[in-house]
A and B are shown apart, each in its own frame.
Chain A
Amino acid sequence: MKSMNRRRFLAAAAAGWTLRRAWAGTEARPLFEEIPAEASGIRWVHDNAASAEHYLPETMGPGCAFLDYDNDGWMDIYLVNSGPCDFYKPAKPIRNALYRNNRDGTFTDVTEAAGVAGGTFGMGVAAGDYDNDGHPDLFVTAYGRPILYHNNGNGTFTDVSEKAGLGARVFEGHWTTSAVWFDFDNDGRLDLFVCSFVDYGADSHFSCGDNKMGRKFYCIPRVFKPTASLLFHNNGDGTFTEVGRGTDIEKSLGKGLGVVATDINNDGRMDLFVANDTVQNFLYVNRGPDARGRTKWEESALSAEVGFSDDGRARSGMGVDAADFDGDGWQDLFVANVDQEMFSLYRNNKDETFRDIAFKNEVAQATRLLSGWGLRFFDYDNDGAIDLFLANGHPDDMIDNYSQAVKYREPLLLFHHEGGQLRNVSAEAGPVFSKMFPARGMALGDFNNDGRLDVLVGNNGGPPVLLRNNSGAGNHWLGVKLQGTKCNRDALGARLTWSAGGVKRSRLKNGGGSYLSSHDMREVLGIGTAPKIDWLEIQWPQPSGRIERFTNPPLDRYVTITEGKGLG
């Protein structure tokens, strides 16, 4: 295996990425810089199966992921493609793609060797180490049969869907979209929540007829029946049991597209926020085990004021995320909707209710004409405050013909956190923010290990966009890979608290977020200009709940912290 230190890596990158110097004709590099396929080696292109019939699944993908499948400390990339299904027989074979990080800014397609090509009409992906063996596994959602790929730890994966109890029969009648790994019962094993979109029909599909151009168009999902999403408990033996039955998860019929697992009431139990298309959003609050030991889920989006718009309308929720956006120790929520509906940034009122503050943060105004899918809260410049990235695109490929202002391809948006509020800095963030994309999935990951989280955007019917993050010059950081021993191996649900320069910050390690996508499992803590981190405290999730404190941890590098074993 090649080895390359950061200095050599940067030198190689500088030689290869000529676009960087073209930015504004100056030496300054854009905050986010598009890495062309010729430079990255990522030549995979999404096939959206576009047809004259306009079957709805065509416009919904693709998802993408950053994961370190080979545990070499460098983020690899997984991209989900469509595939054969009842309405689509590809003329030539198409497949998902796994790209191994060559540690020099380039990637190598290892899909075939790894055995993760897919084979159904893929939608999204969720990476997580469900068997706690230290190797991230993949759950690939689909219109059709989803696939659970077990990571064999030797660069290959095995489709274990049937064996794991996640076979085709379990998902009959479900078009699965976003999925999230999280440990809802704090037993130290990752469980799985899978969003189920509409009932699109098994044999025939309702067509919304011709539009005024005399062509068929993508139906608004409102016309289709809603379905119940699915919650699977990890049995600890490589199998899963569906446990949503009888709970609010089964009772709440929705059209789920996005999900994030977080803890909205700081009770140490992971809750779920689900974005639904044309149906109210769902907030499943985890009330813990009942007398029989079954986890009680309480759907409380309406009382929490995150289910509907201020006008009492269900919107077209697609992407979601959660983070302690304002640094008050409570998880805030975000949901992206379709054009005219505006996106919502929900501030946590600390009493299981939220207030939409999107307008005060420039988000509502900036998104009035946009349709949002992939999105993520993150501190892109490592100044310690949480920023926001939005990937957008209209679902109707003919919208340009009907609308004066709404377009099929839409811009990416970047918001910077300044003085307690978000500011739209897209215009200052690089030429890529002037381009238009049919964006869908979006994942975060530091593919060059420089401590700045990079962005991967999945485009419908096109190549993905890889953005290198050049921001945060002068700011320090600490990258933390948490490794649970008692708790789940990925330490989802852990709380990191640190103090630097007299400022205390904290972060909850959430599961999921965005749309159809999965992120770098490591947490990058932005330190700003403080010369050191005074201390870092990890509160591991149950079952241990252990709290460990580290004084003067190193700066500007990645470390691994293992539960009960300290910093490595």
Chain B
Amino acid sequence: MSVHAKALGLAILLACTAVAQQQPSAEAILRRAIELHQSGDIAGAIEQYRAYLKIEPKNVMARSNLGAALSRSGRYEEAIVEYKRALEIEPASLPIRLNLALSYYKSAQISSAAAELSKVVKQQSDNRQAIFLLADCHLRLGENQKVIALLSPLEKGSPNDKALIYLLGTALIRDHQPERGQVLVDRILRDGDSAEARLLVGTTKLNAMDASGALVDLRKAVELDPQLPDVYSYYGLALLTTGDAAAAAKAFGKELESNPNDFVSNLQMGVLDKQDERYEEARAFFEKALRVRPGDAGVRYQLATLDLIGGKLDRACSELERLTRESPQFVEAHVSLATVYYRLKRKDDGDRERAIVQKLNAEAQARQPGAQGK
């Protein structure tokens, strides 16, 4: 089992333990609900919990248990509602907040999960389960520096904690700090070849534009542990970079089989589908990616280009205007916005955007090494 999977399993186990440790009232419905819950009849338990909560709506334990049962059934949105209600009654409950975070995490609302986990960690700075989950959320959100800030203080005290080393190493490498990352990779490698180590090395090489070298390590990582989170998405990136789009699509698909909310794979599948003019499929992938990273400018841009292609010019225009306001250096967004304006016969606006494109491109060109001097 991977470090990530272990961390998640531990969180679920703790949540269930929290459920089991709470003492219900003597009321029969609740007792029946708990019995059913413990015996694995989750649907029955949900029914009983709901029946009980109609009578005793302020019972935090019952509402929390209902949340756990809903979560176990994969009904995360409903679970979130119940956990939130429980927290309204008992805002200081860390187990409920942790379970709420888990429901967010499992329903791909990673930024919400991170927000809840941050509150847990703030109150319980030694809660390693919450810390690791938060680190994982930050990684998924592409917030590598937050991971580094979160885990670096723990590194000294736990030099052999594999989960910590792996998460921190991943963040360092993705943050283009290969030297520091390599130290951690070496620690993992001390225990022999592993998928985690190969994934980290492969990611390092990918970042260093050594795609063919990355491909070797990432292929090995896939062989060693095909269940390792992110392993197929990074393998797919390496395949894509080395020109094998068909194999890359398969790899992204594999990642999404085990991790439907993987940002990289959703984004890349969307891009590939868009290139192949499967626009509806592309939109679905982009929307999933956006759910994982709400506000991600790259994904929003891709969705805007789909609107542009589909002739939904007003919608494309609004989103592109927002994007260029938020990210004035986003050249591609300016290009597409100019295109939208021209299609809308707003020539002056188009010309203005075109001038911005030319200015940004000239600035980028001036930074190129071969353009120096003369």
Contact = CB atoms under 8 A, between A and B. Distances in A.
Interface of A: 198-199, 201, 206, 208, 212, 219, 222-226, 253, 279-280, 302-303, 305, 307-308, 310-314, 339-340, 342, 353, 359-360, 364-365, 368-369, 401-406
Contact of B243 (A206, A212, A340): A340
Contact of A225 (B239, B243, B354, B371): B371
Given A223-B369, A302-B335, A312 B361 contact: no
Contact of A223 (B212, B332, B368): B368
Contact of A212 (B210, B244, B343, B374): B210
A226 B239 CA distance: 32
B277 interface: yes
Contacts of A302: 335, 338-339, 342, 350, 354, 357
B370 A404 contact: no
A404 B212 contact: yes
A366 B349 CA distance: 37
Contacts of B343: 353
A403 B212 contact: yes
B276 interface: yes
Nearest to A222: B368
Nearest to B347: A303
A31 B302 CA distance: 42
B21 interface: no
Interface string B304-323: 01000100000000000000
B305 A310 contact: yes
A225 B212 contact: no
Contacts of B368: 222-225
B238 to A, nearest CB: 9
B124 interface: no
Contacts of B243: 339-340, 369, 403-406
Contact of B370 (A223, A307, A353, A360): A223
B342 A224 contact: no
B333 interface: yes
29 contacts: A198-B370, A199-B374, A206-B369, A208-B369, A212-B210, A219-B370, A223-B368, A224-B370, A225-B365, A225-B371, A226-B365, A253-B362, A303-B342, A303-B347, A308-B335, A312-B331, A312-B334, A312-B336, A312-B339, A313-B335, A339-B243, A340-B245, A342-B275, A402-B211, A402-B212, A403-B212, A404-B243, A404-B244, A405-B244
Contact of B242 (A253, A280, A308, A405): A405
B222 interface: no
B335 A312 contact: yes
A305 B374 contact: no
Given A201-B374, A310-B274, 14 more contacts: A198-B370, A212-B212, A222-B368, A280-B361, A303-B342, A303-B347, A308-B335, A310-B309, A340-B245, A342-B275, A369-B243, A401-B212, A402-B212, A404-B212
Contacts of B361: 279-280, 314
A403 B342 contact: no
Contacts of B34: none
Contacts of B299: none
Given A222-B368, A225-B374, A402-B211, A311 B242 contact: no
B44 interface: no
Contact of A404 (B239, B336, B362): B239
B95 interface: no
A46 B239 CA distance: 34
Nearest to B335: A312
A199 B357 CA distance: 21
Interface in B324-374: 331-336, 338-339, 342-343, 347, 350, 354, 357, 361-362, 365, 368-371, 374
Interface string B26-40: 000000000000000
B260 interface: no
Interface in B235-268: 239, 242-245
Name the 10 nearest CB pairs between A and B, nearest first: A312-B332, A312-B335, A223-B370, A405-B243, A206-B370, A406-B243, A303-B342, A224-B370, A405-B244, A225-B371
Given A404-B242, A406-B243, A225 B370 contact: yes
Contacts of A206: 369-370
Given A225-B371, A405-B243, A312 B354 contact: no
Nearest to A198: B370
Contacts of A219: 370
Nearest to B343: A353
Q: Decide if the interface of chain A is mainly helix, strand, loop or mixed.
A: loop
Contacts of A223: 368-371
A281 to B, nearest CB: 12
A174 to B, nearest CB: 14
B277 to A, nearest CB: 5
Nearest to B304: A312
B215 interface: yes
Contacts of A226: 365
B214 to A, nearest CB: 11
Contacts of B24: none
Contacts of A311: 302, 305, 332
B212 to A, nearest CB: 5
A53 B75 CA distance: 62
A401 B213 CA distance: 10
Q: Which of B244, B302, B333, B335 has the most CB of A within 10 A?
A: B335
Contacts of A312: 305, 331-336, 339
A253 B212 CA distance: 34
Nearest to A394: B243
A404 B215 contact: yes
A307 B242 CA distance: 26
A308 B369 CA distance: 23
A212 B354 contact: no
A515 to B, nearest CB: 22
A405 B374 CA distance: 38
B259 to A, nearest CB: 25
Interface in B203-247: 210-213, 215, 239, 242-245
A303 B335 contact: no
Contacts of B339: 302-303, 305, 312
A303 B350 contact: yes
Given A302-B338, A359-B277, A403 B371 contact: no
Contacts of B371: 199, 223-225
Contacts of B213: 212
A201 B335 CA distance: 30
A310 B277 CA distance: 11
Contacts of B210: 212
A310 to B, nearest CB: 6
Contacts of A198: 370
Contacts of A201: 370, 374
A54 B212 CA distance: 21
A303 to B, nearest CB: 4
Contacts of B350: 302-303
Listed residue (B210, B331, B339, B370) with the most chain A CB atoms within 10 angstroms of its CB: B370
Nearest to B354: A302
A340 B212 CA distance: 16
Contacts of B211: 402-403
A359 B277 CA distance: 7
- Which of the listed residues A198, A199, A308 has the most CB atoms from chain B within 10 Å of its own CB? A308
